Amino acid sequence: MNPPENPGRCMAGERPPLPAPAMWTASRRAVLGGALGLGLAALLSACGETPAASPQVDVQGPPVEGGALRVGFVGGGASDTLDGAVATNLGDIARAINMYDTLMHFDHDYVLRPMLATSAVPNDDATVWTVELRDDAKFCDGRPVRPEDVIASYMRIIDPEDPKSGAASLSHLDEIAKVGPHTLEFRLSVPDAALDGNFGGYSNIIVPEDFDPANPIGSGPFMLESFTAAQSTVLVRNPHYWGDEGPYLDEVSLLNFNDTDALINALLSNQVDAIAQIPPALVEVIGADERINILDSVTGMYLPFTMRVDRAPFDDVRVRQAFRLAVDRPGMVEQVLSGRGTVGNDMFAVFSEGYPDELPQREQDLEEARRLLAEAGHPDGIDVELVTAPIQSGVVEAAQVFAEQAAEAGIRITINRMDLTAYWTDYLSYDFSQTFWYTRDFLGQSNAGMMPDAPFNETHWDDEEYIELVGRIRSETDEVRRGELIGQAQQILYDRGGLIIWGFANQIDAYQSYVGGLQEDRSGIPLSGFQLHRVWIGDVG
Amino acid sequence: MSTNADSTRTDPVVEPAVAQAADPERAAGTGRRNTVVTRFWAQRQSRLGVALTALVVLVAFLGPLLLPWATGYTQTEFADRPFQGSGVFGTDDLGRDVLSRFLAGGVSLLLYSVLATALGMFLGLLFGMVSAYVGGALDSVIMRANDVLLAIPQLVFALLAITVLGPQPWVLVTVIAITHAPRIARVARSAALGVINEDYIRAAEMYAMPRARILFREILPNITGPLAVEAGLRLTYSIGSIASLSFLGLGMQPPAADWGLMINENRIALAVQPWGVMLPVLAIAILTIGTNLIADAIARASATANIGDA
């Protein structure tokens, strides 16, 4: 072997021309071969890439004022809205939380705290709630937040002509009366001891009486600078913000991305400062880049399997329990969430009062599952179709893992993966399907999905004992007693419910190391529940 | 046809000198038959094409038989957490063994590609030959209908049909076949036009031979050259189309192992665990290069035994 002494001398003219085989004049083969070579080269270079070093940034000290934050997330489209009352996708939610305020709000531990209200107190039978408003809150145009604005805001939400997202859980709201300069009474047709949970819903926003979604005025920490649906939103600091904490940033840009690859690449190439929701399987590799921090929050967000309890075969509780026993829950958390989640016990609202921790953790028991199936008239196993769609990251994956696990119990699952439009068209009609829910308290979740008149009753749950208990929980103002009743209702779900709640997914976001103020949040809403008024940009030292 | 022009340029490959260099026994050989097959096999690129195609076909068809003992896992069994390096080629998006998925994932692609090509060839041949042989108004109707179909982009048509009819295997095969048929029909028609005025066709007509028999027994055997080239090209396109549709989520459905689907499932981790994407990509690339080389070699080999040679 004669290695070239000087690579620079290795020029075309110095080498005797090789006799080119006749074949190589055929262009197709040369092109194909070249393409293959290029592909291999790309593979090799992809394997050898290392992240570049970055300057160290101090984000431990007190928050620094100023700067702009660029936040990226996947989703959004032509239906993007500036009206926080109808927020659906991530961008809508980020805008709702940062441009508007609600009467109450859930803090990072999912505990209800005052916001525009200083207090919300029910009467003895929880049919009237008295709400005291702050007297110093102002909208971004400088006008004060008055009780009249609160009344108009809630009337707008429950407007029968054009009900907003929060209307479904406020169907019992009869009227709101101003009873003092800063005092309101919410009068209900049926008792509701957990109405304050609704006050904390991010879509129940307080807006001026003359609100126009085209010119959105709110009392939140930021106000609108510009908005292009499906592309970007620019928010600037609200000069009249009433809160003590922040906002520290001058400007926030919310940027829509089409897919996760582009989102992650934007973060790695420093085109955005923070991104919402990264696939759990990529946490290690993204976190290995020292410029990037991972925000891994335990949440009450779950991706359950839904069994319709009013139709065969799931009208038989033994079949439902057999399916629940067929799941290897730690296995699901490992395979679907890459271990970044917590195991579920077929009950929701884990952070809510009265959650029965004492009930034994349900584990995979294939023999018992087979026995229950045989008892229910399926001695040779059972064939079911599982309807799934990519409604949330991890859902289609969970379907595949469950199909594999359940096969051992004689449950033969055919996966019917639909596209999103087709799935939502027949949503609520599937015998066996999947859904997803963010963190909610017990009554909020029941009202939304577990009552006969609930708008999202996916399992067609209509259990008399459960309904009676929920009625009592709604009117019980004593917290201890209410916790006990919730525990009893939860046990009904554990014993015979239609949901297979195998686990709770962590919310995982990533951000540049110079971003400060982001902390873990239980809500399931990305990037500290999108509470960007606490976020600041550190000095690059 | 560009392939003919191409082959005239590179015909030196089949010159006796090259053949002798490749196989000394042939130097002494006398009276060796000079057929399409010998001319095909005498080319280096045809042998390379056959080798590449055979390699992928073997992997695809033997792969499923090797599971689970060769890798320790079935195609849907979990080996580790997602995108880990365990096993020979690591794990995929759900923690399944990539090698097991790869071995199991080729059959469907190959099978559907071959079926789609065969069906497309049948339809295209039928319409092309009938159009050429009958002529007149029927010729115009068939060829204009052909033009209409050709105006619709192949993948768009497939996406539309699969969205409406659902991602069933038969839909996949039929749709790809239908998109191939007009292209094949044009080739079949132009090849058949060169044959239909030959004397032996006239003779067959005089014997009152049924038309179907004339088409399939007299015309078809004499246009096999260009059709073989066309079949090879269409097979290449079928592989590409079916893999693309699977990648888009409209072909094979999870949890089935399939090369196109694997690329889609594992692409988010290309930088971390490239094998989940690279193995199927390489296999599809090698397969299409192989079939393309074969088609090319057939074109050269049949260039002298072309249309009209009885």
A3-7, A35-39, A76-80, B80-84, range with greatest mean pLDDT: B80-84
* pLDDT tens track for A345-381: 999 999 988 999 999 999 999 999 999 999 999 999 9
Kindly determine whether residue B255 and residue A26, on different chains, have CB atoms separated by under 8 Å: no
* pLDDT tens track for A521-541: 998 899 999 999 999 998 765
- Residue in chain B lying closest to A263 (CA): B268
How far is it, in rounded angstroms, from Cα B268 to Cα B276? Answer: 10
The CATH number of whichever domain residue A243 belongs to comes to: 3.40.190.10
Looking at the complex, report in whole angstroms how far the Cα of residue A281 sits from the nearest Cα belonging to chain B: 6
Looking at the complex, report in whole angstroms how far the Cα of residue B222 sits from the nearest Cα belonging to chain A: 28
- Residue in chain B lying closest to A51 (CA): B271
- For residue A183, give its domain range: 104-199
* pLDDT tens track for B108-125: 999 999 999 999 999 999
pLDDT confidence of residue A166: 86
pLDDT confidence of residue B302: 78
pLDDT confidence of residue B105: 92
Q: Are B240 and B246 in contact (CB under 8 A)?
A: no
Q: Kindly tell me the burial class for residue B113, based on how many C-beta atoms sit within 10 Å of its own C-beta (0-12, 13-18, 19 or more).
A: buried
Q: Is the pLDDT of residue A251 over 90?
A: yes
Quickly state the pLDDT bin for B282 (edges 50, 70, 90). very high
Q: Are residues A485 and A532 in the same domain?
A: no
Quickly state the pLDDT bin for B133 (edges 50, 70, 90). very high
Q: How far apart are the two ends of chain A, measured CA to CA in Å?
A: 51
Answer with the residue of higher pLDDT: B133 or A19.
B133
pLDDT confidence of residue A52: 44
Q: Are A213 and A83 in contact (CB under 8 A)?
A: yes
Q: Are residues A420 and A464 in the same domain?
A: yes
* Helix or strand holding residue A184 (H, E): strand A183-188
What are the helix (H) ranges across A106-173? 147-157
Q: Is the pLDDT of residue A488 over 60?
A: yes
* pLDDT tens track for A289-337: 889 999 999 999 999 999 999 998 999 999 999 999 999 999 999 999 9
Q: Is the pLDDT of residue A216 over 50?
A: yes
Count of the separate structural domains present in chain A: 3
3-state helix, strand and coil shares in percent for chain A, rounded to the nearest 5: 35, 20, 45
Does residue A380 lie in a domain region?
A: yes
The CATH number of whichever domain residue B257 belongs to comes to: 1.10.3720.10
Quickly state the pLDDT bin for B232 (edges 50, 70, 90). very high
Last residue of one domain, picked from the residues A169, A199, A229? A199
Substitution target from B73, B75, B93 for chain A, most A beta carbons within 10 A? B93
Quickly state the pLDDT bin for A23 (edges 50, 70, 90). very low
Kindly determine whether residue A336 and residue B249, on different chains, have CB atoms separated by under 8 Å: no
Substitution target from B268, B273, B291 for chain A, most A beta carbons within 10 A? B268
Substitution target from B236, B272, B293 for chain A, most A beta carbons within 10 A? B272
Tokens 């092109």 belong to residue: A31
- Residue in chain B lying closest to A31 (CA): B289
pLDDT confidence of residue A331: 94
Mean pLDDT rounded to a whole number for chain A: 86
The candidate with the shortest Cα–Cα distance to A403, out of A389, A380, A418, A385, is A385
DSSP string across A39-67: HHHHHHHHHT--PPP---EE-SSSPPP--
Looking at the complex, report in whole angstroms how far the Cα of residue B56 sits from the nearest Cα belonging to chain A: 15
Q: Is the pLDDT of residue A234 over 90?
A: yes
Residue B256 contacts A where some CB pair is shorter than 8 Å? no
Kindly determine whether residue B289 and residue A397, on different chains, have CB atoms separated by under 8 Å: no
Kindly determine whether residue B272 and residue A285, on different chains, have CB atoms separated by under 8 Å: yes
Cα angle B4, B6, B10 (rounded to 5 degrees) comes to 115
Query: Which of B44, B81, B289 is nearest residue A338 as measured by Cβ atoms?
Result: B81
* pLDDT tens track for B289-310: 999 999 989 888 876 554 444 3
Residues of chain A positioned with their CB less than 8 A from the CB of B76: 400, 403-404
Last residue of one domain, picked from the residues A153, A170, A199? A199
Q: Are residues A469 and A524 in the same domain?
A: no
Supply the pTM of this predicted model.
0.79
Q: Are residues A118 and A261 in the same domain?
A: no
Quick one: tokens of A435? 């859904």
A&B contacts, CB < 8 Å: 96
The candidate with the shortest Cα–Cα distance to A317, out of A195, A459, A207, is A459
Residues of chain B positioned with their CB less than 8 A from the CB of A32: 289, 292-293
Does residue B16 lie in a domain region?
A: no
Distance of CA B65 to the CA centre of its chain: 24
Quickly state the pLDDT bin for B154 (edges 50, 70, 90). confident
> Pairing mode, if any, of strands A274-275 and A68-74?
parallel
Quick one: tokens of B62? 């033997």
Count of the separate structural domains present in chain B: 1
Quick one: tokens of A350? 């884990």
Answer with the residue of higher pLDDT: B208 or A35.
B208
Q: Is the pLDDT of residue B132 over 90?
A: yes
- Residue in chain B lying closest to A39 (CA): B282
- For residue B149, give its domain range: 53-293
Query: Which of B10, B76, B285 is nearest residue A22 as measured by Cβ atoms?
Result: B10
Q: Are residues A239 and A366 in the same domain?
A: no
Residue B282 contacts A where some CB pair is shorter than 8 Å? yes
Quickly state the pLDDT bin for B72 (edges 50, 70, 90). confident
* Helix or strand holding residue A322 (H, E): helix A317-326
Q: Are A273 and A538 in contact (CB under 8 A)?
A: no
* CA distance readout (Å), A70 to A233, A255, A426, B3, B59: 10, 7, 37, 54, 48
pLDDT confidence of residue A58: 66
Distance of CA A121 to the CA centre of its chain: 29
Say if the ipTM goes beyond 0.90: no
Does residue A27 lie in a domain region?
A: no
Here the contacts of B60-63 (C-beta below 8 Å, separation 24 or greater) are B60/B106, B60/B107, B60/B109, B60/B110, B60/B283, B61/B106, B61/B107, B61/B110, B63/B102, B63/B103, B63/B104, B63/B105, B63/B106, B63/B107
Substitution target from A400, A402, A425 for chain B, most B beta carbons within 10 A? A400
Q: Are residues A180 and A244 in the same domain?
A: no
Helix axes A317-326, A479-496, angle to 10 degrees: 90
Q: Kindly tell me the burial class for residue A15, based on how many C-beta atoms sit within 10 Å of its own C-beta (0-12, 13-18, 19 or more).
A: exposed
pLDDT confidence of residue B123: 96
pLDDT confidence of residue B184: 95
Kindly determine whether residue A26 and residue B10, on different chains, have CB atoms separated by under 8 Å: yes
Residue B304 contacts A where some CB pair is shorter than 8 Å? no
Q: If DSSP codes are grouped into helix, strand and coil, which group holds residue B224?
A: helix
Residues of chain A positioned with their CB less than 8 A from the CB of B268: 260-261, 264, 279, 281-282
Q: Is the pLDDT of residue B190 over 50?
A: yes
Looking at the complex, report in whole angstroms how far the Cα of residue B168 sits from the nearest Cα belonging to chain A: 11
Q: Are residues A404 and A310 in the same domain?
A: yes
Quickly state the pLDDT bin for A165 (edges 50, 70, 90). confident
- Interface residues of chain A, partner chain B, Cβ below 8 Å: 22-23, 25-26, 28-29, 32, 35-36, 39, 43, 46-47, 49, 260-261, 264, 279-282, 284-285, 331, 334-336, 338-339, 396-397, 399-401, 403-404, 415, 417, 419
Here the contacts of A230-239 (C-beta below 8 Å, separation 24 or greater) are A230/A76, A230/A77, A230/A78, A230/A80, A230/A256, A231/A255, A231/A256, A232/A256, A233/A91, A233/A94, A233/A95, A235/A95, A235/A98, A235/A99, A238/A140, A239/A140
Looking at the complex, report in whole angstroms how far the Cα of residue A363 sits from the nearest Cα belonging to chain B: 18
pLDDT confidence of residue A57: 64
Does residue B197 lie in a domain region?
A: yes
Q: Are residues A483 and A530 in the same domain?
A: no
Q: What is the mean pLDDT of residues B146-167?
A: 89
Q: What is the mean pLDDT of residues A68-81?
A: 88
Quickly state the pLDDT bin for A32 (edges 50, 70, 90). low
Q: Are residues A329 and A474 in the same domain?
A: yes
Q: Are A197 and A352 in contact (CB under 8 A)?
A: no
Query: Which of B6, B45, B78 is nearest residue A335 as measured by Cβ atoms?
Result: B78
Looking at the complex, report in whole angstroms how far the Cα of residue B16 sits from the nearest Cα belonging to chain A: 14
Q: Are residues A336 and A227 in the same domain?
A: no
Does residue A264 lie in a domain region?
A: yes
φ/ψ of residue A140, rounded to 5? -70, -10
Burial B279-293 (b: 16+ CB within 10 A, else e): bbbbbbbbbbbbbbb
pLDDT confidence of residue A37: 55
φ/ψ of residue A210, rounded to 5? -100, 35
Residues of chain B positioned with their CB less than 8 A from the CB of A292: none
Q: Are residues A387 and A470 in the same domain?
A: yes
Strands in A303-345 per DSSP E: 305-307, 341-343
Q: Is the pLDDT of residue B139 over 50?
A: yes
Does residue A189 lie in a domain region?
A: yes
Does residue B9 lie in a domain region?
A: no
Q: Are residues A490 and A469 in the same domain?
A: yes
pLDDT confidence of residue B279: 95
Residue B229 contacts A where some CB pair is shorter than 8 Å? no
Query: Which of B45, B94, B285 is nearest residue A401 as measured by Cβ atoms?
Result: B94
Portion of chain B with pLDDT greater than 90, in percent: 51
Q: Is the pLDDT of residue A406 over 90?
A: yes
* pLDDT tens track for A440-481: 889 889 988 899 988 889 999 999 999 999 989 988 888 899
Query: Which of A36, A338, A404 is nearest residue B285 as measured by Cβ atoms?
Result: A36
Does residue B264 lie in a domain region?
A: yes
Query: Which of B76, B282, B296 is nearest residue A28 as measured by Cβ atoms?
Result: B296
